[in-house]
Amino acid sequence: MDSGLARGPAERLGGGAQRMKKLLLFCVVAVVAAGGSAASMKADDAAPQADLRSTRPPLHQSAPADWETARPGWRYDFPRDHHLHDNFKTEWWYFTGNLANAKGRPFGYELTFFRQGVRPPHERTGTTSRFVIDDLKFAHFALTDPEGKRFLFQQKTSRGSFGEAGFSEGARLAWIESWNLLLNRDGSFDLAANLTDAALQLHLVPLKSPVIHGANGLSEKAAGGGHASLYYSITRLRTTGQLQLADERFSVTGTSWFDHEWATNQLAPGQAGWNWVSAQFDDGTELMLYEMRLTNGKIDPISSGTFVRADGSVLRLTKADFEMEPTRSWKSQETKASYPIAWKIAVPREQLQFTIAPLLPNQELVLAPIIYWEGAFDLEGTRAGQKIAGRGYLELTGYAGPLRELNR
């Protein structure tokens, strides 16, 4: 199954077999019929991993038939928690970054691998058929080229029945055909993905330890029990690699952001989607903010964020601690959705205020049945009266229609 490859504002190209951070795993209806040819990645330099399923903390389940739900007090442990958590129904490994070639030409990228559970843990016995699967796999890859005014994206989906897609096999954290995420012995990551006329290979070295989001290790998405995830980020990774765009080849360097999140259910009735920001400032600090949007147009007070200081210490933010004000919108000619793509943001506790501007207005991913905007931006502002600049990524969901699948 192939969602197609978007090139520029309207052109769509065909491609091979076939992210959102996160919760877009609800588009599994598109995955069931997917297939494809097998693909593998050499892992000679990668760390061998034991079977991580036997090393997890005890489950917290209300009944044997249930998937595990996110609860307070999860004992995060690395590198174990970089791997699969298949007692939860949904999971994603999400990378974004801002890159540049030797001449300073900017690029942005997103690569995300998703897992959607099909069979809960207690049902995973009694069959050896390749066609009875535990989960469905899919991934999103996008490239932003502001100089060439191009935004390229594609979705891959697979059942993984013949090993062409999967999770946590040795050092491979996730893969689907030729798209790969590899964890190395030294804690660095390797990414690889390609489109019809583009390819990206990156090596990422964490510059900070993982940051846990939310109080007591729990990232709440709605009031009441059960609407939460287990969520951490590596907010700054030194990034080097190779980028091919059509006949052009570049060596690129830059900075990436890694999110890993797992849960069983997140959005509650009355929630339509979210605005999510990851910002990397040139003083060595980072900021993650998300606003959960309600169907009545208001912002859910459960919204929150995390500010990471240059020394790696963390300040957790409630909705009362930050302000997000849209300053410019862009309307998609293809979907007619209107997205707030430029923002004014303030975190008074840190004397921080800044504006963000996208590298391209059109960074909309139109992927059946999911549509969302996710793109690279530049930022500028002040902190404690001193000028500050940086880059980041903005994700906008639910503007082309509420994400009802997340309410299930």
DSSP 93-133: EEEEEEEE-TT--EEEEEEEEEEEE-S-GGG--S---TTS-
Residue by residue, pLDDT tens for the chain (408 residues) are 333 333 333 333 333 322 334 444 334 333 333 333 333 233 333 333 333 332 333 333 333 347 899 999 999 999 999 999 999 999 999 999 999 999 999 999 999 999 998 888 777 776 767 777 788 899 999 999 999 999 999 999 988 888 899 999 999 999 999 999 999 999 999 999 999 999 999 999 999 999 999 999 999 887 777 788 999 999 999 999 999 999 999 999 999 999 999 998 767 788 889 999 999 999 999 999 999 999 999 999 999 999 999 999 999 999 999 999 999 999 999 999 999 999 999 999 999 999 999 999 999 999 977 899 999 999 999 999 999 999 999 999 999 976 644 443
Rounded alpha-carbon distances, angstroms, from residue 125 to 121, 128, 129, 133, 382: 9, 8, 11, 11, 57
Q: Return phi, psi of residue 2, to 5°.
A: -135, 125
Residue-wise pLDDT tens digits, 192-230:
999 999 999 999 999 999 999 999 999 988 777 778 899
Residue of 89, 57, 52, 93 whose CA lies nearest to 72: 57
Separation of alpha carbons 270 and 240, rounded Å = 42
Contact 269, 407 (CB under 8 A): yes
Q: How much of the chain is helix, strand and coil, in % rounded to 5?
A: 5, 50, 40
Residue-wise pLDDT tens digits, 225-266:
778 899 999 999 999 999 999 999 999 999 999 999 999 876
Residue located via tokens 């959607």: 116
DSSP 140-154: EEEEEETTTTEEEEE
What pLDDT sits at residue 199?
A: 98
- 5-39+83-407: what fold? AttH-like fold (2.40.370)
